[in-house]
Amino acid sequence: MVGELYRKAPAYLKNLSRWKFRTCQCCRRWSFFVTNGTGSEFACCAVCGANLRYELLAEEIRKRFTGHLRGLRVVEFDPGSPLKTLLSESGRYTRTFFSESVPRGEVGIQGARSEDITRLTFPSSSIDLMVSSDVLEHVIDLEAALRETARVLVPGGVHLFTVPYRDRTRPRAAWTNGQLQYLEEPEYHSDPLNQQGILAAWDIGPDWPAHIKASGIKLEICRGPVGPDRRVVWAASREAKSGNKF
C-alpha cells in the first residue's frame, strides 16, 4: 500500500478532501481511507488496502462464520487480498490466481495456487467457503463457473462474491467458433496481474438468477446495495440436500 501511495501521490493529494478517518470493516483498525478517484473502488484503507467491496465481504463473512472459521476449508480467488488475515483464521486457507501460462494446481504468485474457476482442481465436496471479489464478471462461461462452485462446495457451503452492480444482466463477450466476439463495446477493468487490464465479459444485475441454468446452486444478493456505486455481496450456496451428483 505504501508503494502505491508513493507512485500515485499526485492523484491522492488531489483528492485529499475526500480522505476519511474511520474504522475499516475489513481489518477493524482505525485508518485513513485514502482515495485517488471519486468512486468507492478508489477509496482504500491505508492499513490493509481494503475498499468498500472487501469491507462488505468481511462483514458478511463475520456475520456467517464468526466463531466457526477455524477448521473450515476456504478458497479465495485473489492472491493479494486484504481478507487474508481474516480468512487465515480458518487454518485451511488457499489463495488462487488465474494464469494461462501456469499449470492448474501449481503454486506460483505470492504462494497462491493457479486455478481456473471454470475448471477447478479441488476435489468434489471439499470446500466450505469460496470468496471472490470482482472476478466472475470476467468469466465468459459463467454457467461453467457455477457448476464448478456446486461441485467443489460441500452441501450447505457458500461462495461469497462481489461483481460491479449493473441494472440488468447481459453478456458483453462470447466465444463463437473459437473466436472471441464482442457483443458490446469492449470494457476493460484494472488488474494487478495485467497492466493492460482484463476484459469484462458480463454486466450482472439483480435479475441474474433468472438467467442461470446451473443446478444445485441458490443464487441471491445477501448484502447491499451500498453507496453511490450500489455495491452488493452475492451468495451462491450449494443446496444442503440435493439429488444432484457432482
Query: What confidence tens digit (pLDDT) does each residue in 73-130 have?
Result: 999 999 999 999 999 999 999 999 998 899 999 998 789 999 999 999 999 999 999 9
The pLDDT assigned to 5 comes to: 53
What whole-number distance in Å separates Cα of residue 171 and Cα of residue 142?
Answer: 10
Comparing CA positions, the residue from 154, 26, 135, 23 lying closest to residue 82 is 26
Query: Do the strands 231-238 and 153-162 form a parallel or antiparallel pair, or are they unpaired?
Result: antiparallel
The pLDDT assigned to 245 comes to: 44
Record: fold of 51-238: Rossmann fold (3.40.50)
- How much is the pTM? 0.90
Strand ranges inside 70-165, DSSP E? 73-76, 92-97, 113-114, 127-133, 153-162
The pLDDT assigned to 197 comes to: 81
Of residues 10 and 50, the one with the higher pLDDT is 50
Query: What confidence tens digit (pLDDT) does each residue in 120-148 have?
Result: 999 999 999 999 999 999 999 999 999 99
The pLDDT assigned to 212 comes to: 80
**The C-alpha cell that represents 98 in the structure block:** 488465474
- The dihedral through the CA atoms of 44, 46, 49, 52 has a sign that is negative
Structural domain spans, the chain: 1-50, 51-238
Query: What confidence tens digit (pLDDT) does each residue in 153-173 have?
Result: 999 999 999 999 999 999 999
The pLDDT assigned to 18 comes to: 79
Of residues 56 and 213, the one with the higher pLDDT is 56
What whole-number distance in Å separates Cα of residue 152 and Cα of residue 160?
Answer: 14
Query: What's the chain's average pLDDT?
Result: 90
- The dihedral through the CA atoms of 89, 149, 238, 53 has a sign that is positive
The pLDDT assigned to 143 comes to: 92
| 3-state DSSP assignment of residue 55 | helix
Most confident of 37-46, 151-160, 194-203: 151-160
The pLDDT assigned to 190 comes to: 79
